[in-house]
Amino acid sequence: MKKALIIDHGSSLMGELLTSVGDRGYDGVLKNYKNLGKADVGQYHAVISGGGNSKIAGNPDLEDELRIWDECEVRDIPMMGICHGAQIGAHNSGGKYSKLNSARKGIFDDYKIEKDDPLLKGVENLTALEWHDYNIGSVGESYEVLMTDSKGNIQIGRHKDSRIYLVEFHPEANRPKDNPVTNGGKIINNFLEMK
């Protein structure tokens, strides 16, 4: 069975993320960002840094995770930062994360694809959960923007030469009974099917 390292920053959606990964044939290995140690990313087929609210800039507890971001880039192991994890990835890329004037909390459908990418294959009329006060303010020079929202905020960024993604919303959030219904699961599918 394929293994996915899931880095926990305290999001209430960790259970849904583990279920989402497990439903797609992966063994999700959940580790708190403070307890990563010298985790060998070579034993994983994918890495996901989840949501939460840990301090980013100057946080010594993130050193092991930042090493993992760099190793995934060099070794071309698929990695996705979700929400807070995306902000960590943006910071690590030389980009910035910034506080929003107005928090984005709820279910949104105002997404615009800026550039085609395998992550977005079959994604149309995206509706997704967001729950954050900060967002990706900019991405580093080695990254490109794949998706924005109606206010021009970056929603998905990608490293130009590896399979590293920054996803501001929560594609793992499955809300089949809400109105509107979320449908970001296709993004998780596409990410985990990358070769």
Return the pLDDT at 180.
Answer: 67
Return the pLDDT at 155.
Answer: 98
Return the pLDDT at 174.
Answer: 83
Return the pLDDT at 169.
Answer: 97
Return the pLDDT at 65.
Answer: 96
Q: pLDDT for 121-174, tens place per residue?
A: 999 899 999 999 999 999 999 999 999 999 999 999 999 999 999 999 999 998
What range defines the domain where residue 31 resides?
A: 2-192
User: Cα separation of 141 and 162, whole Å?
Assistant: 13
Please enumerate in sequence order all residues whose Cβ is within 8 A of that of 136, keeping only pairs 6 or more positions apart, or say none.
86, 87, 90, 95, 96, 97, 153, 154, 155, 157, 166, 168
Instruction: Give the ranges where 33-184 is alpha helix by DSSP (H).
Output: 63-75, 84-92
Whichever domain contains 178, its CATH number is: 3.40.50.880
Q: What is the full per-residue pLDDT of the chain (195 aa) written as tens digits?
A: 899 999 999 999 999 999 999 999 999 999 999 999 888 999 999 999 999 988 898 999 999 999 999 999 999 999 999 999 999 999 999 999 999 999 999 999 999 999 999 999 999 899 999 999 999 999 999 999 999 999 999 999 999 999 999 999 999 998 766 666 788 999 999 999 986
Q: How many domains does the chain have?
A: 1
Return the pLDDT at 178.
Answer: 63
| Other beta carbons within 10 Å of 63 | 11
